[in-house]
Amino acid sequence: MENSKAVKTESVSSFKDSPGKWIFRVVKGALIGTGAILPGVSGGALCAAFGIYRPMMDFFAHPTKNFKNNVRFFVPFLIGTALGFVGLAKLVALLMGNENTVGPVMAFFIGCIIATIPSLHKEGDGKNWKAGHWIALVISTAVTAAALLGLDYASTHVGLNLVPPAGFSTVSFITWLISGTVFALGAIVPGMSPSSLLMYVGLYEPMTKGLGDLDMSIVIPFIVGAVLCIVLFSKLISWMFEKSCRTMFSIVIGIVLGSTLLLPTKMPAETFQSGASIFIVVGCFAAGALAVWLLSFLDKAKEAAKNESESDSPTNDGKAEE
């Protein structure tokens, strides 16, 4: 069993709420929802970067423990996630379907991904990794890249088409049920990007369009699948990260890298044909990285201020605390 060094996260069992903190959690939830809907970006990775992944998994694994505090703590995240997820679904589908904007948008995605890797490495106690953890990372990267390339080949050369007909049908319900189940893995496994998988098999654009349009033939089975995934697998995932934290994070980072390395292949060739377009792509990449870094920086500053406040409190004057 691996014992990883504890990483500071949001405190759920005892926290003092305020309108400012509540709004800030809504904003972070919106970014997590945005990360979930964007191809190549993991909502779970952003949860880890923002320090709420472990509290969230504890809640999923033990929903009755500290139930009242958990509800108070996670409701703003849930509201923000819904706003970010549904509110941007149509916009993302529009941008991804336009050859003039898909390159810069993908560059922004990649910037977000790269910015989450240091947080994932720290969350997985990376400074204490052994040779086996690095080997697991390399293998995970290679397997992920190979799997996605295989799916891409099947869709472009073999004629694989998993997109169901529009409207309610058994095939449609099962397809979007499975899509919701796979998609929810991005929430409970930090670094997983099911959006990339769905994009490679051709389901991403109809999914985002259906969610943005609130098409119930897609929304209902998608939500059912996501809930089933969380209920059935959250305890197992939580146990695996608890028992083998470093190994699990090395595998997850490999998945992040494996999918990220392939994202530029989805950019139109015109993206790199002029100095102006390259400049825009580089700027979008930097903007994505900066956005995630700034939020992580704000969390660290808030945690430092909290620790300083606690060290100056009367309970730390040398007297024993009960």
Chain segment 163-200, per-residue pLDDT in tens: 777 778 888 899 899 988 888 887 777 666 677 667 76
Q: Say if 79 falls within a structural domain.
A: yes
Q: Say if 236 falls within a structural domain.
A: yes
Q: Say if 3 falls within a structural domain.
A: no
pLDDT for 215-260, tens place per residue?
A: 899 999 999 998 898 888 888 887 888 888 899 889 888 887 887 7
Range 305-315 average pLDDT: 61
Q: Which residue has the higher pLDDT, 249 or 307?
A: 249
* Length of the chain counted residue by residue: 322
Range 276-289 average pLDDT: 86
Q: Say if 246 falls within a structural domain.
A: yes
Q: Say if 317 falls within a structural domain.
A: no
Domain that holds residue 213: 19-302
| Per-residue buried b or exposed e for 57-93, using 16+ beta carbons within 10 Å of the residue's own CB | bbbbbeeeebeebbeebbebbebbbebbbbbbbbebb
Q: Say if 126 falls within a structural domain.
A: yes
CA distances from 182 to 75, 194, 261 (A): 23, 6, 21
pLDDT for 66-110, tens place per residue?
A: 788 888 888 888 888 888 877 777 777 777 667 777 788 778 877
Report the share of the chain in percent with pLDDT over 90: 10
Task: Report residue 137's pLDDT band, with 50, 70 and 90 as the boundaries.
Answer: very high
Q: Say if 5 falls within a structural domain.
A: no
Q: Provide the whole-model pTM.
A: 0.68
Which residues lie below 8 Å from residue 94, measured CB to CB, with a gap of 6+? Answer: none
Q: How many domains does the chain have?
A: 1
Q: Say if 55 falls within a structural domain.
A: yes
